[in-house]
Amino acid sequence: MLQHQTTYLIALLTAAAVDGALFHVAWLRRPAGGHGFAVLMAAAFLYSAGYAGTLVSATAAARIWWAALEYLGLAAAAPAWVMTAAGTVKRGRFLTRRLAVTLCFIPAASLLLYYTNGYHHLYYGAVSMAPPGPLALISHTRGPWYWVFAVYVLASLLLGNVLYAGKRRRERGAARRQAGALLAASLVPWAAVLAYFPGERILDPGPLALSVTGLAFGWIFLRRDSPAVITRDSVFQGIREGVLVLDTQNRIVDFNSAARTVIAGLAPQALGRPVKEVLHDQPELLRQLVAPECDQTELQLPLGRGLRCYQSRLSILENRRHQVIGKAVILCDVTRETWRVDELQARARMDALTGIFNRRYLLELGHRELERARPGGRPFSVVLIDIDHFKDVNDTYGHSAGDLVLKSVVRTCAGALRSRDLMGRWGGEEFVLILPGASPDGALAVAERARKNIAGSVVSLDNTTTVSVTASFGVAGVAAPESGTSLEKLLEMADQALYRAKNSGRNRVVLSRD
């Protein structure tokens, strides 16, 4: 008998060591069961170590202390068992924060009643210490709450078995075989239940059974190539794009981690709720989610203090019988690509040297503004600018000096313009102003301001050299554009006026009277 008891004690201490090692590795590796498996192994360690302590304690006070530690592990093991199973089979709607709180209610109440049993005897009717011997057993009479907790533990074991059985039924190939191994390992604690519950004053086989199950679970969970780790849900959660799944009633069924980052307001509590309630503050996304047909569009969604651009694609989900069961929206972050496209488009529209519109894009904008002016009969004018004797600047100081002069003229000229006026480089040292809403006389005043600004400015070429330039202006416009008025015709009239300005002495503004 002594030899058997010593063997059991060695096995119990070995189980505690195994549980502790599994907890350490599980916590570092975060396996398929997630934190649940790590907590389960921590609980199993307390269960085994605490029970071993009660068996070898020499005093009643020490036995009671170790028994309290043992029971803490036992109480934590039951909810951790369910959370491990739920996390392993990845039942997203099942594994919620509310469930976790519910699962912990009975264990917490049981701990409280156990630790205060001396005041009410609801957990144990009577507790007595066995006579001194090789192993110190505690004898007790089971109270009403003991059976409540016992039913809870059995129900937790059974629920874990059901979840593993369901996983085995759904999986195929290697994943199915490993799900079968999980199911078989989850049945081991039942042997301890059948051996312990009917008995009295028997050594508890529960810690050993839980350790054996933990070893089997650890072998499956902690292998990096394990199909238990590479599950559909692992792939789903690992997708970089945000995925949000709705049922046919537009209620939120599931979402991955990326979707929580993208969509403010998504949380486990949103599962099962109508999407209109959860995303009421994001009308663009909501419009697409409730649309009856598949669609692809681009959205701008708030993230932090800014906006991110997403390509949103809606897909209808069907079951094997081709019945519609819901829909999924996939949100792909295209902010960087959008910025690149915008940057390329901006470069294609701008003059690289001066930073104003180039000739092609200025003409495009000019045609657009002229068409806007026609319906209301609003005035519209253009101004053509040419820097006087610009070739002399290049010949005297070099082309780099000429570039400085061009940029300086643009900055100086821009100071005379209104916010809605447009300026572009026409070519070489020539520039064009598009002045929507400006009558010919109004455009003449704008041009005169610009001319004075340019004539009064000085361009510094280096620390000792400066240069001043002037410019000639040709102005053309209409008080009310007619159907026959074209941008090209106005530019031609402005060019003729500019030609007259240069021939009459330069550094002046001439208005076309044609």
Residue-level pLDDT at 269: 79
Together in a domain, 194 and 82: yes
Give the pLDDT confidence of 5-63 residue by residue, as tens digits: 678 788 888 888 988 888 888 777 654 445 778 888 899 999 888 888 888 877 777 87
Together in a domain, 411 and 480: yes
Cα R_g (the chain), whole angstroms:
41
**What whole-number distance in Å separates Cα of residue 283 and Cα of residue 238?**
27
Residue-level pLDDT at 57: 76
Report residue 249 as tokens.
């009633």
Asked if residue 413 lies in contact with residue 387, where contact means CB atoms within 8 angstroms, the answer is no
Alpha helices of 197-353 — where are they, by DSSP H? 206-221, 232-238, 257-262, 275-278, 283-289, 335-349
Residue 133 lies inside a defined structural domain of this protein: yes
Q: What is the CATH number of the domain that holds 255?
A: 3.30.450.20
The one-digit pLDDT tens for each residue of the chain (514 residues) are 455 667 878 888 888 898 888 888 877 765 444 577 888 889 999 988 888 888 887 777 787 788 888 889 989 998 988 888 887 776 545 556 666 777 888 999 999 998 888 888 888 876 665 555 455 555 667 788 888 988 999 999 999 899 888 888 877 766 778 788 888 988 998 888 887 765 555 677 888 888 888 888 888 776 644 544 445 555 566 677 888 888 888 888 888 888 887 777 788 778 788 888 888 877 777 877 776 665 667 666 666 566 777 777 888 888 767 788 888 888 887 777 666 766 667 777 888 899 899 999 999 999 999 999 988 889 999 999 999 999 999 999 999 999 999 999 999 998 888 888 999 999 899 999 999 999 999 999 999 999 999 999 999 888 888 999 999 999 999 998 887 789 999 999 999 999 999 999 999 999 997 6
Residue-level pLDDT at 512: 92
Report residue 347 as tokens.
């470069």
Q: How many Cβ atoms sit within 10 Å of the Cβ of residue 199? A: 11
Asked if residue 331 lies in contact with residue 259, where contact means CB atoms within 8 angstroms, the answer is yes
Last residue of a domain, one of 283, 313, 339: 339
Residue 421 lies inside a defined structural domain of this protein: yes
Quick one: which H or E segment has residue 462? none
**b vs e for 347-375, b when ≥16 Cβ sit within 10 Å of the residue's Cβ?**
eebbbeebebbbeebbbebbeebbeebee
pTM for the whole thing? 0.47
Together in a domain, 161 and 67: yes
Together in a domain, 320 and 392: no
Average pLDDT for the chain:
82
At residue 253, φ and ψ (nearest 5 deg) are -100, -40
Residue-level pLDDT at 139: 60
Residue 344 lies inside a defined structural domain of this protein: no
Domain hosting residue 245, numbered range: 239-339
**What whole-number distance in Å separates Cα of residue 336 and Cα of residue 324?**
35
Q: How many Cβ atoms sit within 10 Å of the Cβ of residue 141? A: 12
Residue-level pLDDT at 445: 94
31 SS3 class: coil
Together in a domain, 125 and 226: yes
- Number of domains present in the structure of the chain: 3
Report residue 73 as tokens.
């592990």
Last residue of a domain, one of 182, 211, 230: 230
Give the sheet arrangement for strand 252-255, strand by strand.
Answer: 252-255, 242-247, 324-333, 306-318, 295-303
Report residue 238 as tokens.
């690992």
Amino acid type, 64: I
Together in a domain, 266 and 364: no
Residue-level pLDDT at 447: 95
Last residue of a domain, one of 339, 362, 384: 339
Residue-level pLDDT at 299: 66
